């Protein structure tokens, strides 16, 4: 698949391990892992940070292969899922940082272009999340950017 804002080809990605049965070396039960996910979310970690923490501290290679559920599904089941999806929130934070830089450096034209491309990605994601029900139709990007 091609990259979004260039005519170059995409990067090759790594292949995930075979899902199959749960890994035998994982010592925690699925209930304990689910409680750990909830506890880490209550500490303020995002779902990707939770996955990294489980991999490094608990020895869980992939949560879905052990629990048969994604981390986001576990968070939704326990009603502690974030209102805004993580990838959209990271783009919003990136846009804010570039905007602060642009206010300090008015003549930085390349970052002005990058800010426009980030906004384009955010608008595409918002449209996708609204049509698929991840965001409410009343949700507005402008309120978050302020």
Domain assignment of residue 97, yes or no:
yes
pLDDT-derived band of residue 100, with 50, 70 and 90 as boundaries?
very high
Domain that holds residue 65: 30-77
Domain assignment of residue 10, yes or no:
no
pLDDT, tens digit, for every residue of 72-86? 999 999 999 999 999
Find residue 2's DSSP bridge partners.
9
pLDDT, tens digit, for every residue of 52-65? 999 999 888 888 88
Residues 102, 133, single domain; the answer is yes
64 or 120, greater pLDDT: 120
pLDDT-derived band of residue 106, with 50, 70 and 90 as boundaries?
very high
pLDDT mean over 7-29: 73
pTM for the predicted model, two decimal places: 0.81
Residues 70, 106, single domain; the answer is no
pLDDT-derived band of residue 43, with 50, 70 and 90 as boundaries?
very high
Report the pLDDT value the prediction gives residue 5, as an integer from 0 to 100: 81
Residue for token pair 């905007």: 99
Domain assignment of residue 19, yes or no:
no
Are 86 and 46 within 8 A, CB to CB? yes
pLDDT-derived band of residue 105, with 50, 70 and 90 as boundaries?
very high
- Domain count for the chain, please give it: 2
Are 108 and 102 within 8 A, CB to CB? yes
Task: Work out the mean pLDDT of the chain and round it to a whole number.
Answer: 90
The 10 Å Cβ neighbour count of residue 33 is 19
Q: Which of 20-34, 43-57, 64-78, 122-136 shows the lowest mean pLDDT across its residues?
A: 20-34
């Amino acid at each position: 698949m091609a990259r979004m804002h260039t005519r170059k080809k995409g990067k090759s990605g790594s292949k995930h391990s075979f899902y199959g049965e749960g890994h035998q070396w994982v010592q925690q039960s699925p209930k304990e892992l689910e409680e750990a996910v909830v506890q880490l979310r209550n500490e303020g970690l995002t779902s990707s940070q939770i996955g990294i923490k489980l991999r490094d501290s608990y020895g869980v290679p992939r949560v879905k292969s052990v629990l048969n559920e994604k981390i986001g599904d576990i968070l939704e089941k326990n009603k502690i899922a974030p209102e805004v999806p993580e990838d959209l929130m990271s783009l919003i934070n990136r846009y804010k940082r570039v905007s602060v830089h642009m206010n300090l450096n008015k003549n930085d034209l390349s970052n002005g272009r990058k800010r426009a491309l980030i906004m384009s990605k955010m608008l595409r994601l918002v449209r996708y999340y609204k049509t698929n029900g991840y965001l409410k139709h009343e949700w507005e990007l402008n309120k978050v950017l302020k």
